[in-house]
Structure formats: C-alpha cells, structure tokens
C-alpha cells in the first residue's frame, strides 16, 4: 500500500465500528481525524493516544456544517448511526467537498441519488456485515452458469445497539432494505418458490428461515438476466416474533430489539452454488458484527486509494468488485469453503 500519509476523517469515534476502523487504519499509518461528541468522556480511557490521531469534538445533531471538520482530507468514513437519520447528511457534506465517502449503511440512498448529477464518490453498505454478502455472492457468480441455482442465507444471533435497532425497524416498516417472501428467477424478482434451502446447513438448522431478497442482491442482479437465486434471512424465533409486530410503534420495536441479549453472538453468510447433483459452498462466521464492520470499513478505505476513482454512488460490492476483498478478510476472520470457488 502506498500511503503517502493520507488523511482519513472518521465521524463517530466512540462506537465499536468507529473505534475498530480507527485502530486498523492507524496501524496502516494513515493520519486520522476522529470526531466524538464529548472529548471529556474518553480522556481517561487511553483511546486515540497515537500521534497520528487527532480528536475533534463534534455533535452532528447541533453542527450545521460538518464539512469543515473534514475539509482538506482525503476520505470520510461515516460511522454515526442510525443510518436512516445521518447517512444522507454526512454523504452530502463529503460530496460538497469532493471527498470520497464510505458508510456501512446508506444503501437506501442509491436509488434516491443514482440519477442525480452528483460529483464525487460515495460507497455505501447494509446488513450485518456490510458489503460482505455482495462480495461473496459475486465471487460465486463468476463461476456460475445460466441454469445454476444459487442459495444464500444471511443471519445469526446477535445483539442490537440502539442505532442498529432503529435502522432495522425503519427497514422492516418501509421495506427499504429488501423484499420478503421473494426469489430471483432469470434475473427477475418473483414470489418465493421454496420456504427454505434445498440443503439447510446443520449449523443454521435451529434458526427460523424466511425467504428474503436484500437490497444488495437487487443491485447485483441489475442487467443480469439469467440469474437464479434463492436468498434467505435466518434469525432466532424471538426476533421474528418482534418483526411480526411491525404494526407497533417504532420506539416499542426498538426497545424490544435492544432487549434481546445474547451472550454467544454469532453471525454468518452462507452461499451455495447448485449445479445438477454437484454443489460448491462458501461460508463465513463471525462473532462480533460491529468489530468486523469496522474492519470492512478500513479495508474499503484502503482499497479506494489503490484503485482508479469513479464518480457516483455505489454499493461496496460493486465499487470494489475487482479488489481482492475476500483475501483481505480471510486474514482477520473465519472463512470456510467446500469445493473451489
């Protein structure tokens, strides 16, 4: 990596996502500007003591011009949630300064801004591990044929922060993040043809399964007319019980999600390529979604500097489709595969 002491701004420096991204990027030698709401609260924690890190006190709810915080920097990471409240503001401020912007959420902004005349680069994500499901699906599709069936399961057992709970409730109430009870046939989204995968992995069998085409999958299939994909979300029965109460008030749903306390968190993405009687599989397991999200943001930021810059708003999977993201992730967490993909 050629660093040349580039400067990266991280909005949201006290959450696990922002802290993790900062740690990884600091070790890579970047100059970092990190925003926190109250510097006094972290002075005695020992956080951000490295000489290449500058702390700034910034409350995004009160500050009308956050652009001055990252003016002159080389890249902005928006790690403040919930995405439904803050992603658009952070993105537009970065675009105004013509600085590339990376956000673990914000995928709902793609359709809103795709046909706009925006100048600049914005890379957004969604889901438990933003970008990861798209990269894994894309890696399988490179070797898939027209009549192959791709099965995909995303889910697990994990805890919700307040910001994550708010975004999740926003998604299930507005269907912004995906289409339930659907599948992809010949590149078109149709009603689901199966309730569960042909070969449900034993490690997932205790969870409830629901057909679900995520927004990231919807982006990947654009212009690809011969794809056949059955995708599912997997979660404990208790989580689906909460989702089934979507008619309730948002704050009640948020509180219910935050009340789900799991001591043994585990999230996963499982992708299988079925070709006749043969199949190939790749899957990922991770214990802390927030930590891996921070690592993904750091990998994405580093990759941007190594690639030709493109204007527009992209998913992480589409912008970095030629970058060896999975190879980078294999160094820091658990990937397993059956067959060669």
Domain boundaries, the chain: 7-128+291-325, 132-288+331-338
Partners of 315 in the beta sheet? Answer: 124
The better pLDDT of the pair 33, 119 is held by 33
Report residue 93 as tokens.
């401020």
Give the residue-averaged pLDDT of 271-296: 84
Give the residue-averaged pLDDT of 288-299: 88
The better pLDDT of the pair 164, 212 is held by 212
Percentage of residues of the chain with pLDDT beyond 70: 92
The better pLDDT of the pair 124, 332 is held by 124
pTM of the predicted protein model? 0.87
Confidence at residue 157, expressed as pLDDT on a 0 to 100 scale: 83
The better pLDDT of the pair 100, 247 is held by 100
Minimum mean pLDDT range among 144-153, 295-304, 319-328:
319-328
For domain 7-128+291-325, give its CATH number from 1.10.10.10, 3.40.50.720, 3.20.20.70, 2.40.50.140. 3.40.50.720
Give CA separation, 283 vs 122, 155, 201, 214, in Å.
28, 12, 10, 17
Separation of alpha carbons 23 and 42, rounded Å: 15
b/e per residue, 193-207, with b = 16+ CB within 10 A?
Answer: eeebbeebeeebeeb
Strand residue runs (E) in the chain = 7-11, 31-36, 53-57, 75-78, 101-106, 121-125, 149-157, 178-180, 182-185, 188-191, 208-214, 229-235, 266-275, 278-286, 312-315, 334-338
Helix (H, G, I), strand (E, B) or coil at 179: strand
Give the residue-averaged pLDDT of 141-166: 84
Give CA separation, 223 vs 119, 265, 339, in Å.
24, 37, 28
What are the residues whose beta carbons fall under 8 Å from the beta carbon of 33, sequence distance 6 or more?
Answer: 7, 8, 9, 10, 54, 56, 69, 70, 73
For residue range 205-222, what is the model confidence (pLDDT) as tens digits?
788 999 999 888 988 888
Confidence at residue 101, expressed as pLDDT on a 0 to 100 scale: 95
Q: Mean pLDDT, the chain, as a whole number? A: 84
Whether 94 shows a pLDDT value over 50: the answer reads yes
Give the residue-averaged pLDDT of 186-195: 93
Give the residue-averaged pLDDT of 118-126: 87
Confidence at residue 66, expressed as pLDDT on a 0 to 100 scale: 85
Give the residue-averaged pLDDT of 168-184: 79
Give CA separation, 115 vs 196, 219, 283, 320, 341, in Å.
36, 14, 35, 21, 35
Confidence at residue 251, expressed as pLDDT on a 0 to 100 scale: 83
For residue range 53-83, what is the model confidence (pLDDT) as tens digits?
998 888 888 877 787 888 889 999 999 988 8
Confidence at residue 38, expressed as pLDDT on a 0 to 100 scale: 84
What are the residues whose beta carbons fall under 8 Å from the beta carbon of 51, sequence distance 6 or more?
Answer: none
Percentage of residues of the chain with pLDDT beyond 90: 27
Would you place residue 335 in the very low, low, confident or very high pLDDT band (cuts 50, 70, 90)? low
Whether 190 shows a pLDDT value over 90: the answer reads yes
Confidence at residue 175, expressed as pLDDT on a 0 to 100 scale: 59
**H or E element that contains 242:** helix 237-243
Separation of alpha carbons 133 and 140, rounded Å: 11
Domain 132-288+331-338 has CATH 3.30.360.10: yes
């Amino acid at each position: 990596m050629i660093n040349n002491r580039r400067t990266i701004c991280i909005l949201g420096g006290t959450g696990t996502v922002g802290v993790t991204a900062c740690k990884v990027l600091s070790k890579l030698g970047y100059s970092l500007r990190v925003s926190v709401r109250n510097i006094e609260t972290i002075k005695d924690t020992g956080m951000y003591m490295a000489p290449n890190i500058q702390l700034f006190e910034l409350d995004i709810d009160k500050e009308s011009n956050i652009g001055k915080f990252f003016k002159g920097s080389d890249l902005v990471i928006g790690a403040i949630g919930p995405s439904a409240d803050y992603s658009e503001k952070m993105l537009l401020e970065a675009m105004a300064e013509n600085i590339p912007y990376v956000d673990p959420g914000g995928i709902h902004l793609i359709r809103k801004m795709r046909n706009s005349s925006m100048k600049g680069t914005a890379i957004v994500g969604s889901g438990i591990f933003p970008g990861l499901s798209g990269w894994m699906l894309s890696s399988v599709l490179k070797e898939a044929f027209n009549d192959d069936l791709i099965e995909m399961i995303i889910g697990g057992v994990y805890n919700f922060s307040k910001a994550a709970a708010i975004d999740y409730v926003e998604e299930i109430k507005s269907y912004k993040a995906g289409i339930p009870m659907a599948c992809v046939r010949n590149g078109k989204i149709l009603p689901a043809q199966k309730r569960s995968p042909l070969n449900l992995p034993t490690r997932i069998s205790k969870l409830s399964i629901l057909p679900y085409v995520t927004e990231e999958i919807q982006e990947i299939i654009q212009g690809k007319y011969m794809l056949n994909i059955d995708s599912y979300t997997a979660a404990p029965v208790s989580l689906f019980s909460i989702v089934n109460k979507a008619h309730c008030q948002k704050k009640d749903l948020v509180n219910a999600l935050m009340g789900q306390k799991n001591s043994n968190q585990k999230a996963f993405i499982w992708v299988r390529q079925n070709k006749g009687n043969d199949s190939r599989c790749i899957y990922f397991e991770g214990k802390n979604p927030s930590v891996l999200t921070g690592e993904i943001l750091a990998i994405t930021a580093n990759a941007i500097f190594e690639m030709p810059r493109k204007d527009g708003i992209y998913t992480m999977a589409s912008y970095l489709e030629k970058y060896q993201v999975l190879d980078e992730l294999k160094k820091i967490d658990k990937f397993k595969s059956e067959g060669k993909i």
